Amino acid sequence: MAEPGETTVDGQVALVTGASRGIGAAIAVDLARAGYTVVINHRDSAEDARRVAEAGGPTATVIAADVADHAAVRRLTEEVTDRHGRLDVLVNNAGVTLPDDWRTLDPARWQRCLDVNVTGVFHCVQALAPLLEATGRGRIVNIGSTYAGMGVGAIAAYAAAKAGIAALTTAFAKELAPVVTVNLVAPGNIDTDMTRSVGEEFVAATVAQTPLRRLGTPEEIARLVRFVVSEDAAFITGQTLVCDGGHSLR
Protein backbone atom coordinates (compact mmCIF):
# COMPACT_ATOMS: atom_id res chain seq x y z
CA MET A 1 0.00 0.00 0.00
CA ALA A 2 1.29 3.47 -0.87
CA GLU A 3 2.13 5.81 1.99
CA PRO A 4 0.39 9.22 2.18
CA GLY A 5 1.81 11.43 -0.57
CA GLU A 6 3.25 8.41 -2.38
CA THR A 7 1.83 7.04 -5.62
CA THR A 8 1.89 3.47 -6.84
CA VAL A 9 2.25 3.11 -10.59
CA ASP A 10 1.84 -0.65 -10.80
CA GLY A 11 0.30 -1.55 -14.12
CA GLN A 12 0.60 1.94 -15.57
CA VAL A 13 2.03 2.30 -19.07
CA ALA A 14 4.17 5.19 -20.32
CA LEU A 15 5.20 5.89 -23.91
CA VAL A 16 8.27 8.05 -24.56
CA THR A 17 8.87 9.13 -28.15
CA GLY A 18 12.40 9.60 -29.42
CA ALA A 19 13.68 7.55 -26.51
CA SER A 20 16.73 5.85 -28.01
CA ARG A 21 19.18 8.44 -26.67
CA GLY A 22 19.67 11.67 -24.78
CA ILE A 23 16.81 13.14 -22.79
CA GLY A 24 14.28 10.61 -24.11
CA ALA A 25 16.41 7.67 -23.02
CA ALA A 26 16.89 9.14 -19.55
CA ILE A 27 13.14 9.71 -19.18
CA ALA A 28 12.33 6.17 -20.32
CA VAL A 29 14.80 4.57 -17.90
CA ASP A 30 13.71 6.79 -15.01
CA LEU A 31 10.02 5.99 -15.51
CA ALA A 32 10.79 2.28 -15.85
CA ARG A 33 12.74 2.28 -12.60
CA ALA A 34 9.83 4.12 -10.96
CA GLY A 35 7.59 1.19 -11.82
CA TYR A 36 5.98 2.13 -15.13
CA THR A 37 5.79 -0.29 -18.03
CA VAL A 38 7.62 1.83 -20.59
CA VAL A 39 7.29 1.81 -24.36
CA ILE A 40 10.46 3.14 -25.99
CA ASN A 41 9.80 4.72 -29.36
CA HIS A 42 12.45 5.37 -31.98
CA ARG A 43 12.55 5.96 -35.73
CA ASP A 44 15.64 4.13 -36.98
CA SER A 45 17.89 3.51 -33.95
CA ALA A 46 16.89 -0.03 -33.05
CA GLU A 47 20.15 -1.00 -31.35
CA ASP A 48 20.24 2.12 -29.18
CA ALA A 49 16.57 1.64 -28.28
CA ARG A 50 17.26 -1.98 -27.31
CA ARG A 51 20.02 -0.85 -24.92
CA VAL A 52 17.65 1.66 -23.33
CA ALA A 53 15.07 -1.10 -22.90
CA GLU A 54 17.66 -3.31 -21.21
CA ALA A 55 18.51 -0.48 -18.81
CA GLY A 56 14.80 0.01 -18.11
CA GLY A 57 14.24 -3.57 -17.05
CA PRO A 58 12.17 -6.53 -18.19
CA THR A 59 8.89 -4.69 -18.74
CA ALA A 60 10.32 -2.12 -21.17
CA THR A 61 9.46 -2.63 -24.83
CA VAL A 62 10.49 -1.02 -28.11
CA ILE A 63 8.29 0.19 -30.96
CA ALA A 64 9.68 1.86 -34.10
CA ALA A 65 7.71 4.70 -35.68
CA ASP A 66 8.42 8.07 -37.28
CA VAL A 67 6.19 10.49 -35.37
CA ALA A 68 6.18 12.82 -38.39
CA ASP A 69 4.30 10.13 -40.32
CA HIS A 70 0.59 10.11 -39.50
CA ALA A 71 0.09 6.50 -40.62
CA ALA A 72 3.11 5.35 -38.59
CA VAL A 73 1.70 6.94 -35.44
CA ARG A 74 -1.60 5.16 -36.04
CA ARG A 75 0.29 1.87 -36.26
CA LEU A 76 2.18 2.80 -33.08
CA THR A 77 -1.15 3.37 -31.33
CA GLU A 78 -2.42 -0.01 -32.48
CA GLU A 79 0.73 -1.73 -31.19
CA VAL A 80 0.47 -0.04 -27.79
CA THR A 81 -3.18 -1.08 -27.59
CA ASP A 82 -2.47 -4.66 -28.65
CA ARG A 83 0.49 -5.11 -26.29
CA HIS A 84 -0.75 -3.25 -23.22
CA GLY A 85 -4.41 -2.35 -23.64
CA ARG A 86 -3.91 1.05 -22.02
CA LEU A 87 -1.74 4.16 -21.88
CA ASP A 88 -1.36 6.36 -18.80
CA VAL A 89 1.53 8.65 -19.72
CA LEU A 90 2.65 10.11 -23.06
CA VAL A 91 5.96 11.95 -23.21
CA ASN A 92 6.39 13.71 -26.55
CA ASN A 93 10.16 13.98 -26.68
CA ALA A 94 11.08 13.15 -30.31
CA GLY A 95 12.86 16.06 -31.93
CA VAL A 96 15.60 17.23 -34.24
CA THR A 97 17.64 20.41 -34.32
CA LEU A 98 19.15 22.22 -37.29
CA PRO A 99 22.22 24.31 -36.48
CA ASP A 100 22.12 26.13 -39.83
CA ASP A 101 22.28 29.67 -41.18
CA TRP A 102 18.64 30.61 -41.78
CA ARG A 103 19.70 32.51 -44.92
CA THR A 104 20.74 29.31 -46.67
CA LEU A 105 18.59 26.72 -44.88
CA ASP A 106 17.19 24.20 -47.35
CA PRO A 107 13.35 24.21 -47.38
CA ALA A 108 13.25 20.42 -47.00
CA ARG A 109 15.34 20.59 -43.83
CA TRP A 110 13.13 23.37 -42.47
CA GLN A 111 10.04 21.25 -43.15
CA ARG A 112 11.53 18.14 -41.57
CA CYS A 113 12.28 20.08 -38.39
CA LEU A 114 8.66 21.24 -38.15
CA ASP A 115 7.30 17.81 -39.09
CA VAL A 116 9.18 15.99 -36.33
CA ASN A 117 9.14 18.58 -33.57
CA VAL A 118 5.64 20.00 -33.73
CA THR A 119 3.53 17.97 -36.18
CA GLY A 120 4.78 14.81 -34.47
CA VAL A 121 3.36 16.05 -31.16
CA PHE A 122 0.00 16.71 -32.82
CA HIS A 123 -0.04 13.26 -34.43
CA CYS A 124 0.70 11.51 -31.12
CA VAL A 125 -1.84 13.43 -29.07
CA GLN A 126 -4.51 13.03 -31.74
CA ALA A 127 -3.98 9.27 -31.94
CA LEU A 128 -3.29 8.45 -28.30
CA ALA A 129 -5.61 10.80 -26.41
CA PRO A 130 -8.48 8.25 -26.33
CA LEU A 131 -6.25 5.74 -24.53
CA LEU A 132 -5.15 8.37 -22.02
CA GLU A 133 -8.72 9.50 -21.41
CA ALA A 134 -9.85 5.93 -20.84
CA THR A 135 -7.60 5.66 -17.76
CA GLY A 136 -9.45 8.47 -16.00
CA ARG A 137 -6.21 10.34 -15.15
CA GLY A 138 -3.91 10.54 -18.16
CA ARG A 139 -0.74 12.58 -18.36
CA ILE A 140 0.91 14.25 -21.36
CA VAL A 141 4.31 15.91 -21.09
CA ASN A 142 5.67 17.72 -24.12
CA ILE A 143 9.40 18.39 -24.22
CA GLY A 144 9.98 21.92 -25.43
CA SER A 145 12.95 24.25 -25.15
CA THR A 146 13.79 27.59 -23.61
CA TYR A 147 14.95 28.57 -27.09
CA ALA A 148 11.29 28.81 -28.14
CA GLY A 149 11.28 32.25 -26.56
CA MET A 150 14.82 33.36 -27.37
CA GLY A 151 15.93 34.90 -30.65
CA VAL A 152 18.64 32.61 -32.03
CA GLY A 153 18.91 32.73 -35.81
CA ALA A 154 21.26 29.73 -35.99
CA ILE A 155 18.44 27.44 -34.81
CA ALA A 156 15.45 29.39 -36.12
CA ALA A 157 13.58 26.31 -37.36
CA TYR A 158 14.06 24.47 -34.07
CA ALA A 159 12.98 27.50 -32.02
CA ALA A 160 9.90 28.00 -34.17
CA ALA A 161 8.90 24.36 -33.83
CA LYS A 162 9.34 24.40 -30.07
CA ALA A 163 7.21 27.54 -29.85
CA GLY A 164 4.55 25.61 -31.75
CA ILE A 165 4.69 22.84 -29.13
CA ALA A 166 4.05 25.42 -26.42
CA ALA A 167 0.91 26.55 -28.25
CA LEU A 168 -0.29 22.97 -28.63
CA THR A 169 0.32 22.37 -24.94
CA THR A 170 -2.08 25.09 -23.82
CA ALA A 171 -4.66 24.10 -26.43
CA PHE A 172 -4.63 20.42 -25.47
CA ALA A 173 -4.62 21.25 -21.74
CA LYS A 174 -7.99 22.92 -22.24
CA GLU A 175 -9.34 20.30 -24.64
CA LEU A 176 -8.44 17.25 -22.56
CA ALA A 177 -9.33 18.59 -19.12
CA PRO A 178 -10.44 17.47 -16.63
CA VAL A 179 -9.31 13.91 -17.34
CA VAL A 180 -5.83 14.45 -18.84
CA THR A 181 -3.24 16.99 -17.74
CA VAL A 182 -0.95 18.44 -20.41
CA ASN A 183 2.25 20.25 -19.51
CA LEU A 184 5.46 21.32 -21.16
CA VAL A 185 8.94 20.78 -19.74
CA ALA A 186 11.38 23.26 -21.27
CA PRO A 187 15.02 22.24 -20.93
CA GLY A 188 17.80 24.69 -21.47
CA ASN A 189 21.24 23.52 -22.54
CA ILE A 190 21.46 19.84 -21.64
CA ASP A 191 24.54 17.69 -22.09
CA THR A 192 23.39 15.54 -25.02
CA ASP A 193 24.70 14.65 -28.46
CA MET A 194 22.20 17.13 -29.91
CA THR A 195 23.60 20.01 -27.86
CA ARG A 196 27.20 19.02 -28.55
CA SER A 197 26.45 18.83 -32.31
CA VAL A 198 26.04 22.61 -32.40
CA GLY A 199 29.73 22.91 -31.50
CA GLU A 200 31.98 23.21 -28.47
CA GLU A 201 32.26 26.97 -28.94
CA PHE A 202 28.48 27.19 -28.50
CA VAL A 203 28.62 24.96 -25.43
CA ALA A 204 31.33 27.04 -23.79
CA ALA A 205 29.46 30.28 -24.49
CA THR A 206 26.18 29.02 -23.08
CA VAL A 207 27.83 27.65 -19.95
CA ALA A 208 29.42 31.04 -19.40
CA GLN A 209 25.97 32.67 -19.74
CA THR A 210 24.30 30.23 -17.32
CA PRO A 211 24.17 31.31 -13.67
CA LEU A 212 24.73 27.73 -12.47
CA ARG A 213 27.78 27.52 -14.79
CA ARG A 214 27.18 24.11 -16.33
CA LEU A 215 25.05 22.14 -18.74
CA GLY A 216 22.09 20.28 -17.32
CA THR A 217 21.93 16.50 -17.40
CA PRO A 218 19.30 14.32 -19.08
CA GLU A 219 18.63 12.74 -15.69
CA GLU A 220 17.62 16.11 -14.23
CA ILE A 221 15.01 16.51 -16.97
CA ALA A 222 13.85 12.94 -16.38
CA ARG A 223 13.26 13.58 -12.68
CA LEU A 224 11.23 16.69 -13.50
CA VAL A 225 9.10 14.71 -15.96
CA ARG A 226 8.52 12.04 -13.32
CA PHE A 227 7.21 14.71 -10.96
CA VAL A 228 4.90 16.18 -13.62
CA VAL A 229 3.28 12.80 -14.30
CA SER A 230 2.88 11.99 -10.60
CA GLU A 231 -0.15 12.54 -8.37
CA ASP A 232 1.80 15.31 -6.66
CA ALA A 233 1.32 17.35 -9.86
CA ALA A 234 -2.34 16.44 -10.39
CA PHE A 235 -3.48 20.09 -10.17
CA ILE A 236 -0.94 21.36 -12.71
CA THR A 237 -1.96 21.62 -16.36
CA GLY A 238 -1.20 23.89 -19.29
CA GLN A 239 2.05 25.03 -17.70
CA THR A 240 5.67 25.37 -18.81
CA LEU A 241 8.26 24.13 -16.33
CA VAL A 242 11.72 25.50 -17.15
CA CYS A 243 14.89 23.61 -16.24
CA ASP A 244 17.86 25.58 -17.58
CA GLY A 245 20.19 26.55 -14.73
CA GLY A 246 18.98 30.14 -15.05
CA HIS A 247 20.22 30.56 -18.64
CA SER A 248 17.00 32.25 -19.78
CA LEU A 249 17.11 34.85 -16.99
CA ARG A 250 17.63 38.33 -18.35
Q: What amino acid occupies position 44?
A: D
Of the residues 36, 122, 147, 158, only one is catalytic, namely: 158
Length of the chain, in residues? 250
Respond yes or no: is residue 158 known to be catalytic: yes
Catalytic machinery residues: 158
